[in-house]
Chains A and B, each alone.
Chain A
Protein backbone atom coordinates (compact mmCIF):
# COMPACT_ATOMS: atom_id res chain seq x y z
CA UNK A 1 0.00 0.00 0.00
CA UNK A 2 1.61 3.20 -1.22
CA UNK A 3 1.63 6.07 1.27
CA UNK A 4 2.25 9.72 0.52
CA UNK A 5 3.31 12.50 2.85
CA UNK A 6 3.47 16.20 2.02
CA UNK A 7 5.99 18.55 3.60
CA UNK A 8 6.71 22.23 3.26
CA UNK A 9 5.99 25.64 4.74
CA UNK A 10 2.53 26.45 5.99
CA UNK A 11 2.88 30.16 5.30
CA UNK A 12 3.99 31.92 2.13
CA UNK A 13 4.16 35.66 1.54
CA UNK A 14 2.23 37.25 -1.32
CA UNK A 15 4.31 37.16 -4.54
CA UNK A 16 6.43 34.46 -2.97
CA UNK A 17 7.07 30.91 -4.16
CA UNK A 18 5.57 27.76 -2.68
CA UNK A 19 7.70 24.64 -2.59
CA UNK A 20 6.18 21.38 -1.40
CA UNK A 21 7.59 17.88 -1.42
CA UNK A 22 5.75 14.56 -1.37
CA UNK A 23 7.56 11.53 0.01
CA UNK A 24 6.38 8.22 -1.40
CA UNK A 25 6.69 5.08 0.69
CA UNK A 26 5.56 1.50 0.19
CA UNK A 27 6.25 1.59 -3.52
CA UNK A 28 8.58 2.94 -6.17
CA UNK A 29 8.07 6.31 -7.76
CA UNK A 30 9.42 4.70 -10.91
CA UNK A 31 6.33 2.48 -11.20
CA UNK A 32 3.65 2.93 -13.87
CA UNK A 33 1.84 5.59 -11.88
CA UNK A 34 1.39 9.28 -12.31
CA UNK A 35 2.13 11.54 -9.37
CA UNK A 36 -0.25 14.42 -8.91
CA UNK A 37 -0.95 17.56 -6.92
CA UNK A 38 -4.53 18.56 -6.10
CA UNK A 39 -5.56 21.53 -3.98
CA UNK A 40 -8.66 22.59 -2.06
CA UNK A 41 -9.26 26.14 -0.81
CA UNK A 42 -10.88 26.23 2.62
CA UNK A 43 -14.55 25.31 2.37
CA UNK A 44 -14.37 24.88 -1.42
CA UNK A 45 -13.97 22.16 -4.02
CA UNK A 46 -11.04 20.27 -5.49
CA UNK A 47 -8.71 21.55 -8.23
CA UNK A 48 -6.18 19.44 -10.10
CA UNK A 49 -2.82 21.20 -10.40
CA UNK A 50 -0.74 18.80 -12.44
CA UNK A 51 1.01 15.44 -12.70
CA UNK A 52 4.36 13.90 -13.48
CA UNK A 53 5.58 10.49 -14.62
CA UNK A 54 8.90 8.99 -13.58
CA UNK A 55 10.28 9.80 -17.05
CA UNK A 56 9.84 13.46 -16.22
CA UNK A 57 6.90 13.93 -18.56
CA UNK A 58 4.45 16.35 -16.92
CA UNK A 59 1.01 17.81 -17.53
CA UNK A 60 -0.33 20.95 -15.90
CA UNK A 61 -3.65 22.68 -15.44
CA UNK A 62 -3.68 25.51 -17.95
CA UNK A 63 -5.12 27.81 -15.30
CA UNK A 64 -1.80 27.58 -13.42
CA UNK A 65 0.58 26.54 -16.16
CA UNK A 66 2.66 29.69 -16.24
CA UNK A 67 3.32 29.49 -12.48
CA UNK A 68 3.66 25.77 -11.74
CA UNK A 69 6.46 23.24 -12.01
CA UNK A 70 6.32 19.63 -10.84
CA UNK A 71 9.56 17.72 -10.59
CA UNK A 72 10.59 14.23 -9.56
CA UNK A 73 13.57 12.86 -7.63
CA UNK A 74 13.82 9.13 -8.20
CA UNK A 75 16.83 8.77 -5.92
CA UNK A 76 14.75 10.03 -2.97
CA UNK A 77 11.45 8.50 -4.11
CA UNK A 78 9.74 11.85 -3.95
CA UNK A 79 8.21 14.51 -6.14
CA UNK A 80 7.77 18.23 -5.68
CA UNK A 81 5.54 21.18 -6.49
CA UNK A 82 6.73 24.72 -7.11
CA UNK A 83 4.15 27.49 -7.49
CA UNK A 84 5.35 31.02 -8.08
CA UNK A 85 3.78 34.46 -7.66
CA UNK A 86 1.51 33.29 -4.86
CA UNK A 87 -1.64 35.26 -4.11
CA UNK A 88 -4.32 34.95 -1.43
CA UNK A 89 -6.45 32.82 -3.75
CA UNK A 90 -3.70 30.17 -3.64
CA UNK A 91 -4.45 29.57 0.04
CA UNK A 92 -5.53 25.94 0.16
CA UNK A 93 -4.89 22.46 1.42
CA UNK A 94 -2.45 20.90 -1.02
CA UNK A 95 -2.62 17.13 -1.52
CA UNK A 96 -0.16 14.87 -3.27
CA UNK A 97 -1.96 12.01 -4.98
CA UNK A 98 -1.17 8.81 -6.84
CA UNK A 99 -2.99 7.89 -10.02
CA UNK A 100 -2.54 4.86 -12.21
CA UNK A 101 -2.14 5.05 -15.94
CA UNK A 102 -4.88 5.71 -18.47
CA UNK A 103 -8.21 6.75 -17.00
CA UNK A 104 -7.47 5.53 -13.50
CA UNK A 105 -8.80 7.39 -10.46
CA UNK A 106 -6.79 9.20 -7.82
CA UNK A 107 -6.42 6.19 -5.57
CA UNK A 108 -3.94 7.19 -2.87
CA UNK A 109 -3.85 10.59 -1.20
CA UNK A 110 -1.52 12.26 1.24
CA UNK A 111 -3.10 13.76 4.34
CA UNK A 112 -2.81 17.24 2.88
CA UNK A 113 -0.99 20.35 4.05
CA UNK A 114 -2.56 23.76 4.55
CA UNK A 115 -0.69 26.58 2.86
CA UNK A 116 -1.72 30.13 3.73
CA UNK A 117 -0.67 33.12 1.67
CA UNK A 118 -0.32 36.11 3.94
CA UNK A 119 2.18 38.80 4.82
Chain B
Protein backbone atom coordinates (compact mmCIF):
# COMPACT_ATOMS: atom_id res chain seq x y z
CA UNK B 1 0.00 0.00 0.00
CA UNK B 2 1.11 3.58 -0.64
CA UNK B 3 1.78 5.43 2.61
CA UNK B 4 1.02 9.14 2.82
CA UNK B 5 2.69 11.37 5.39
CA UNK B 6 1.91 14.99 6.22
CA UNK B 7 3.75 17.77 7.99
CA UNK B 8 3.15 19.44 10.27
CA UNK B 9 0.57 17.46 12.22
CA UNK B 10 -0.74 20.71 13.64
CA UNK B 11 -0.22 24.37 12.92
CA UNK B 12 -1.28 27.59 14.62
CA UNK B 13 -1.67 30.66 12.46
CA UNK B 14 -3.42 34.01 12.28
CA UNK B 15 -5.92 35.45 9.85
CA UNK B 16 -3.99 36.83 6.89
CA UNK B 17 -1.04 34.46 7.27
CA UNK B 18 0.34 32.39 4.43
CA UNK B 19 0.54 28.72 5.38
CA UNK B 20 1.96 25.66 3.70
CA UNK B 21 1.19 22.01 4.42
CA UNK B 22 3.29 19.25 2.93
CA UNK B 23 2.45 15.70 1.97
CA UNK B 24 4.78 12.93 0.85
CA UNK B 25 3.94 9.67 -0.87
CA UNK B 26 5.96 6.50 -0.22
CA UNK B 27 6.24 5.85 -3.97
CA UNK B 28 5.44 7.62 -7.18
CA UNK B 29 1.79 8.59 -7.58
CA UNK B 30 2.43 10.93 -10.51
CA UNK B 31 0.06 13.83 -9.84
CA UNK B 32 -2.82 11.77 -8.48
CA UNK B 33 -2.89 13.74 -5.26
CA UNK B 34 -5.91 15.43 -3.77
CA UNK B 35 -6.38 17.79 -0.84
CA UNK B 36 -9.44 17.89 1.41
CA UNK B 37 -10.66 20.25 4.10
CA UNK B 38 -12.72 18.90 6.99
CA UNK B 39 -14.49 20.92 9.65
CA UNK B 40 -15.75 19.37 12.89
CA UNK B 41 -18.86 17.27 12.42
CA UNK B 42 -18.76 17.67 8.65
CA UNK B 43 -17.72 15.50 5.73
CA UNK B 44 -14.45 16.30 3.99
CA UNK B 45 -14.57 18.63 0.99
CA UNK B 46 -12.17 18.42 -1.94
CA UNK B 47 -10.11 21.56 -2.49
CA UNK B 48 -7.41 20.52 -4.95
CA UNK B 49 -7.27 17.53 -7.30
CA UNK B 50 -4.56 16.30 -9.60
CA UNK B 51 -2.00 17.97 -7.31
CA UNK B 52 -2.71 21.49 -8.59
CA UNK B 53 -6.21 21.82 -10.06
CA UNK B 54 -8.65 23.91 -8.08
CA UNK B 55 -12.02 22.27 -7.48
CA UNK B 56 -14.96 24.32 -8.72
CA UNK B 57 -16.16 26.80 -6.11
CA UNK B 58 -12.99 26.73 -4.03
CA UNK B 59 -11.38 30.13 -3.41
CA UNK B 60 -8.23 30.89 -5.37
CA UNK B 61 -6.21 31.46 -2.18
CA UNK B 62 -5.82 27.66 -2.12
CA UNK B 63 -3.08 26.35 -4.40
CA UNK B 64 -1.38 23.00 -4.79
CA UNK B 65 1.97 22.02 -6.22
CA UNK B 66 4.05 18.91 -6.73
CA UNK B 67 7.68 17.87 -6.95
CA UNK B 68 8.22 14.16 -7.41
CA UNK B 69 6.59 12.45 -4.46
CA UNK B 70 6.35 15.68 -2.44
CA UNK B 71 3.24 17.80 -2.56
CA UNK B 72 2.25 21.09 -0.97
CA UNK B 73 -0.98 22.89 -0.19
CA UNK B 74 -0.65 26.63 0.27
CA UNK B 75 -3.24 29.02 1.61
CA UNK B 76 -2.12 32.48 0.58
CA UNK B 77 -4.04 34.55 3.11
CA UNK B 78 -5.87 32.70 5.86
CA UNK B 79 -9.52 33.52 6.36
CA UNK B 80 -11.51 32.69 9.52
CA UNK B 81 -13.35 29.89 7.69
CA UNK B 82 -10.08 28.15 6.78
CA UNK B 83 -9.37 26.86 10.28
CA UNK B 84 -9.97 23.15 9.86
CA UNK B 85 -8.19 19.83 9.35
CA UNK B 86 -6.55 19.17 6.00
CA UNK B 87 -5.90 15.75 4.47
CA UNK B 88 -4.00 14.68 1.40
CA UNK B 89 -5.05 11.54 -0.46
CA UNK B 90 -3.61 9.54 -3.33
CA UNK B 91 -5.99 8.40 -6.06
CA UNK B 92 -3.32 6.66 -8.17
CA UNK B 93 -4.10 3.14 -7.08
CA UNK B 94 -6.20 1.14 -4.67
CA UNK B 95 -6.25 1.02 -1.76
CA UNK B 96 -6.72 4.76 -1.87
CA UNK B 97 -4.90 6.18 1.13
CA UNK B 98 -5.03 9.40 3.11
CA UNK B 99 -2.43 11.30 5.03
CA UNK B 100 -2.91 11.52 8.81
CA UNK B 101 -4.15 15.11 8.62
CA UNK B 102 -2.94 18.57 9.59
CA UNK B 103 -4.94 20.51 12.15
CA UNK B 104 -4.88 24.23 11.39
CA UNK B 105 -6.02 26.33 14.32
CA UNK B 106 -6.10 29.94 15.32
CA UNK B 107 -3.03 31.37 17.04
Point out residues on A near B: beta carbons under 8 Å: 36, 45-48, 51, 59-63, 95, 99, 103-107, 109-112
Cβ contact within 8 Å between B89 and A106:
yes
Report the minimal beta-carbon distance from B62 to chain A, rounded to whole angstroms: 14
Per DSSP, chain B at the interface is loop
Query: For chain B, which range describes its interface: under 10, 10 to 19, 20 to 34, or 35 or more residues?
Result: 20 to 34
Determine whether B98 belongs to the interface, using a CB cutoff of 8 Å to chain A. Answer: yes
Asked if residues A45 and B91 are in contact (CB atoms below 8 Å), the reply is no
CB distance from B3 to the nearest CB of A (A): 12
Pick the most buried of B30, B43, B55, B91: most chain A CB atoms within 10 A of its CB. Answer: B43
List 17 A-B residue pairs with CB atoms under 8 Å apart, sorted by A's residue number. Answer: A36-B96, A46-B87, A46-B98, A48-B95, A48-B96, A59-B95, A63-B95, A95-B43, A103-B92, A104-B91, A105-B91, A106-B36, A106-B44, A106-B46, A107-B49, A107-B55, A110-B43
Contact indicator A109/B45 (Cβ below 8 Å): yes
- Return B9 CB to nearest CB of chain A, in Å: 11
Beyond A45-B87, A45-B100, A46-B87, whether A106 also contacts B94 by CB under 8 A is no
Across-interface contacts of B94 in A (CB, < 8 A):
48, 51, 59, 61
**Minimum CB distance partner of B87 in chain A:** A46
B49 contact from A59, A105, A109, A110, Cβ within 8 A: A105
Among B43, B50, B98, which residue has its beta carbon within 8 angstroms of that of A48?
B98
CA distance A112 to B91 in the complex (A): 21
Contacts of A110 in B (CB 8 A): 43
Cβ–Cβ < 8 Å partners of B32 in chain A:
103
Chain B residues near A36 (CB-CB < 8 A): 96
